[in-house]
Structures are given as C-alpha cells and as structure tokens.
Chains A and B, each alone.
Chain A
Amino acid sequence: MRFITILLAFMSSLFVGGIAAYHVWQHQSFTWDLPKEIPPPPVPEDNPMHPAKVNLGRFLFYDTRLSQNQQISCATCHIQKLAFSEPRTLSQGLHGNLTPRNAMSLTNVAYNPNFTWANPLLTQLEHQMLIPLFGEEPPEMGMAGQEKELVERLQQVPIYQSYFSKAFPNEDNPISINNMIKAISSFQRTLLSFNSPYDQYLQGEHQAISDSAKRGMKLFFSEKTECFHCHGGFNFSDSSVHANSRTVPSEFHNNGLYNLDGKGSYPKDNRGLYTFTLNASDMGKFRAPTLRNIRVTAPYMHDGSIATLEDVLEHYVDGGRTILEGPNKGFGSANPYKSEFVVGLILTDEQKSDLLAFLDSLTDEDFLTNEQFTNPWPLLQEESASH
C-alpha cells in the first residue's frame, strides 16, 4: 500500500505536494492532557484527534448558526461553568419546546460507552449529535431537513473556509455536515476533568480534601452505601470505556424514582432503556452518570426532578422516592425493577455531610474555567479589532 502511494506520488508532482501537506498535518499530533494513570478515551478510527479539528469544533460548539432560528448553540444547554450542563429542569429547544429530559454534563463525555440518559444505540458522539441538530422529539436546534442551508451558512463564514480546510486537508469540499460533526466530536473528546481536589488527593496531596471528605470517600466506596457499584471507577460511572477497554460495560439501572401503577411504570417519555429494548424489565433503567463536578450540575436525574444534592442523598437513604400526589404518585422504593443496590440507608447527619463533602471534592475548578473550552468567538473579535 505504501509502495503504491510512493509510486503515485512520483507519478504526479501535484500529488507530491498534497501528500507532503498531509504528512505535515499528521505530524501536528494531538496529545491528551491526562494524568499518567488515566487511559485515553476511545476514538473512532475514521475521526482521529487533531488540534485543528478540536479548534474548529470549539467554534462550532459555540455557534448559533447551527440552529434553525440562529439563536441556539450546543453551549446554550451545555454551559461550561456548570460542567457543560444547565440549570433548567428540562431543556428548552427551538420555540421553547421542552425536551423530556435534563441536559447532561459533558464532563469526560468521551469515556461513555453510550450517550444520553438511556439510549443503548448511540455509541458514538458523532451519532448522538444527530439528535440535538436534526431530532424532532422535540426539535432542539431544529435543523431537520435543512442540512443544505446549514452547509451554506457555514460556507459564508470566512474563518470556516480556512478552519475546515486545516482540519480536513486534501478534501475538495471540506465544509460538510459530516466534517462539522467530526470536529465538534473531537472538541467534546477534549472535555476532560481529572484535576479535582479528590484527584490531587490521589496524587499524594493529603491536604487537598478535608477530613470530612475523606470519611465520605470511605462511605461512598463501602458496602454500606453501595454508591460505588454504579458510580465506581475512574470516572465515577460503571458505564465507562477507555482506549484499552476489552469489554464495553453498558450498564443501566433503575434507582427507584417512580412507580406509577405499582407495577414499576415510569412516566411516559421517560421510561429509560425500555423505550429502546421494549423489554418490560428495562423499565426506568438509566445510565449512572459520572459524579465528577456533580455539585454544579443541579438539578439532578434524567428529568431534573431532584433539585439538590442533599435531596439526592435523601432519595438513596429512603431507597427510592415516594410521591404522594399528582399523576406521578407512587412508591418508587417498591418498584419491582429497582436495583438490588438501592435498598435504603441508615446514615447519621454527620455521615450525610461527609458524603456530601466527598461529592464536593469532585468539583474540578480548572475544568469549569479552562480557557481552552470557553467561547472562542469574542476572542476572535477582539483579535481582529486589535489588528
């Protein structure tokens, strides 16, 4: 194969130029900004990481041209200082349409084996992105059927001409939906958060977390609370993959939020894994999200139905949620599909505040303020203004 490439290169001087340029592009290699003991996330073969793609993806992530009314960008619902989540209970898409779910944090999103709260089919960031862009349940960015307009919009932005060709060299028409999606995915793969006080503590900085947090850590990783069964591992989620993973742990659990009919039903639109598999026993099963930066991502759960971290803890203390009034009333703790690891806890007030102190120690301020993840457009304007 290489021989043929070389042969072809000799045959055409034009080709030589192209291939040389490609080699330069390849050698501007991407390096993961990760602590030594953390393995890099998996990356699809057809979308290798590259600094030019990451840079382009960052501009696109913050670009409202990606929505029908040109007012919504990915960052509208994924706000950096909230670990790329948002404070609304349910997200608001185009024309104020409410999504049935709470916007997820994008902390270490590259390590998730599948995306969104419970969809086992979406195993690549590239595919997940079709949903906010083109989905209609409800329209979020509302671009369904407008892929051509979207490409035209992007073509009219001068910096994109050069950014797309830098990110996708040797392509005749680098500005395409597919490349746009690849670039945003590459940017999302750089959203890495492994520098919380807890991580510093693991690195040997004994004073990085309080004594209370240390006690909370022990509780978290104990059979007493069982939290680690579902929120374990380097990313605090049993559903995590990395570049060297041999198996794909795709886990979903019912943690007893609802039980509408005494038979385990969850509210319509939010039945979790069941929606996709149609297996009765998958009712109310969701992916256990990472708990990194959990303090800043309120409200909690797939439908944002728990307002504070303190209330989340009470939910686990009760072994499920009891709702006495309204259409969703029922005893979540008696949900027949509930995980055996959510059985109710006996915790003293001190133990509760220890657990919360531990969860607080997972907040990575660097991540929330990292300048490589901020909106790049204002910077660009400042730059061109100063010229």
Chain B
Amino acid sequence: MHLFYYTLIFVISVFFLTGCLQQDEEYHIKTQVHLADFCRNSQFHLTDLRLFIHQVALQDFSGKWHDLQFNPEVTHQNRAVALLDFRQAMTSCEQQSENTPAIIGSLPKNNYQSIRFNLGVPFQENHADPLLATAPLDDTSMHWHWNGGYKFMRLELKSNQKSYRFHLGSLGCEGEIGQINHCRVPNRIQVQLDQFSPKNDVLTIDIAHLLKQTLSIAPPQRTCAEDMEPRWCQTTLSWLKALSWLKTKTPVHPALQSTKI
C-alpha cells in the first residue's frame, strides 16, 4: 500500500518537474549602445566597449526573481558569464547597428517586469588559472592579470589628440594567480533596471550619460587601476555605479525587436 503511494507521489512529482522544465523557454535579450547624443556633443569617439556580466535575473509580476540560465553553446557565453562586445555596434552614430550582442538564456515561461545583473566576472571564474581559460574568458584583451583577474569592462575613447581608457576590474587582490583569496576592491557592480521586458525591450547603454561628467576632466595617462585615484577614474566609476546610463528602450528599428524562440 505504502509502495503505491510513494509511486504515485513520485509519478506526480516527475510530472510536475518535467512540466516545469518544459515551461522554460529561451530568451534573446537584445542590447544596444546609444551613441547619437554622445556623437553630437563631443569631439571624442568611442573605440571600444566590452563588458562581462553575470547572475542575470528577471522579476515576474508577483515580485519573484528568476535566474536566467546562460546558454553555454554560444561563444560569448559560458554557464557563468557573458561577454557583451559592442565594437561592431559602434560603427555609426545615428543608425543602430544590428550587430549588437544578445544575452541568451532560458527562463521559466512568464511575464517579467525588471532585470538585474552583475557587471563583472564572478569571483571563481575571475581568479581561475587564466592559462586554462575557455571562451569567453580566453579573449586576451579582457585579461588583466597584472591585477590577478579580468577586465570587467573596457571603455575606450579617442579624440584627435587624446585617448581615454577605462578598464575596470578587481583591485587589491591577495594571494596568487589561480589562488586569489580576496580582493579589497572587487569592483563588481550590481545593476537593476525596472520596467524592462525581456521580450520587448532592449537593454540600452547611454554613452553620453555615462560620460557626462567625465569628458571635461583631464584623463590619466594610463588606465584606471591601483586606488582609482585620478579624478577621471573616480568620476567614471561613480557614474557607472549610479546606473542612470542604463535604459530600457523600446526599439524604433524593427530589426531590434527582441526575438523569442
């Protein structure tokens, strides 16, 4: 008799579990970089924008957060981290390029209202042996191993005379490469964007906004590291943390409509 109940419970739970699994669907969350305002108002142009993100989650209308499971089959992602590379998307100021990176992963079928993620590489992946790294962490231009980890973000600008480089990563790390115990300044940034639908909206980086305060300050000769001391570095970092550079944008261009498979 007991056996019968157990079997029944088992069958029911398997039914529910597989039911739930089937409910997962793949999302391609579109991203873009908004350049028009920046181009209009500055003598600089953007030459590089790449960032790692992890722990992407979406909030349903009941307020519950659901982790997005990265699709590890695409080269710009593994299970833990995604590399968003905007270099192909920056070719024109006015027109939005179609070559924008997408965040690809699965979520329970539902309606969502907000997105959050961390800018950076998770601690474990950030400090694993770089010589054994696989995509997307094998891209050596994102390596920052003189500081013991990766560049979480690289943002580079050029004008006729000057070039600015903003590389962000963990600082003040203790231990040795492959076995870092702790970093005093992790520099991972938690980002949340409300009123964001992964189906209809495009995660938009507004460069003019991000660099609003920065462009009038004299840039440091080298990249920002150590104690991020030059005012240029501090300002850029604080604007990054203020999050107002990130926007939900319903795309004008039909090609940018988020696709759902």
Contacts and interface: CB of A to CB of B under 8 A. Distances in A.
Interface string B169-198: 001111111101000110000000000000
Given A121-B147, A271-B226, A144 B172 contact: no
B132 A178 contact: yes
Nearest to A144: B141
Contacts of A370: none
A127 B130 contact: yes
A275 B131 contact: no
Interface in B128-181: 130-132, 138-141, 143, 145-148, 165, 167, 171-178, 180
Interface string A98-139: 000000000000000010100111111011001101111110
Contacts of A342: none
Contacts of B223: 136-137
B225 interface: yes
B84 to A, nearest CB: 15
Interface centre among A126, A134, A147 (most CB of B within 10 A): A134
- Report the contact-size class of chain B (Cβ under 8 Å from the partner): 20 to 34
Contacts of B79: none
Interface string A253-289: 0000000000000001101001111100000000000
Nearest to A147: B140
A74 interface: no
| Consensus secondary structure, chain B interface | mixed
B73 interface: no
Given A121-B148, A178-B131, A275-B226, A134 B143 contact: yes
B222 interface: yes
A230 interface: no
A130 B143 contact: yes
A124 B177 CA distance: 8
A134 B142 CA distance: 9
Contacts of B226: 271, 274-275, 278
A49 interface: no
Given A178-B131, A278-B171, A131 B176 contact: no
B138 A122 contact: no
A276 B173 contact: yes
Contact of B146 (A123, A137, A269, A271): A137
Interface in B53-68: none
From B141, B145, B172, name the one whose CB has the most chain A CB atoms within 10 angstroms.
B145
A124 B129 CA distance: 11
Contacts of B178: 124, 127
Given A122-B177, A145-B139, A275-B225, A127 B184 contact: no
B140 A134 contact: yes
Interface string A137-156: 11000011111000000000
Contacts of A276: 147, 172-173
A144 B171 contact: no
Nearest to A131: B146
Contacts of A124: 176-178
Nearest to A138: B222
A119 B167 CA distance: 19
A130 B145 contact: yes
Contacts of A137: 146, 222-223, 225
A184 to B, nearest CB: 12
Given A127-B130, A136-B223, A278-B171, A121 B176 contact: yes
B130 to A, nearest CB: 6
Contacts of A178: 131-132
Contacts of B140: 130, 133-134, 143-147, 177
Nearest to A123: B176
A274 B172 CA distance: 9
A138 B140 CA distance: 14
Contacts of A131: 145-146
Nearest to A124: B177
A277 B174 contact: yes
A230 to B, nearest CB: 22
A121 B131 contact: no
Contacts of A143: 140
B177 A144 contact: no
A277 B176 CA distance: 12
B101 to A, nearest CB: 16
Contacts of B146: 116, 119, 121-122, 131, 135, 137
Contact of A147 (B138, B165, B173, B184): B138
Contacts of A134: 140-141, 143
A181 interface: yes
A267 to B, nearest CB: 12
Nearest to B183: A278
B141 A278 contact: no
B162 to A, nearest CB: 15
A121 B143 contact: no
Nearest to A178: B131
Interface centre among B132, B143, B148, B227 (most CB of A within 10 A): B143
A121 B184 contact: no
Given A121-B177, A137-B146, A144-B143, 18 more contacts: A121-B147, A121-B175, A122-B146, A123-B176, A124-B177, A126-B131, A136-B223, A138-B222, A143-B140, A145-B139, A145-B140, A177-B131, A181-B131, A274-B226, A275-B225, A276-B173, A277-B174, A278-B184
Q: Which 3 A-B pairs have the closest CB atoms?
A: A145-B141, A134-B140, A278-B172
8 contacts: A133-B140, A134-B140, A136-B167, A145-B139, A145-B140, A274-B226, A277-B172, A278-B227
Interface of B: 130-132, 138-141, 143, 145-148, 165, 167, 171-178, 180, 184-185, 222-223, 225-227, 229
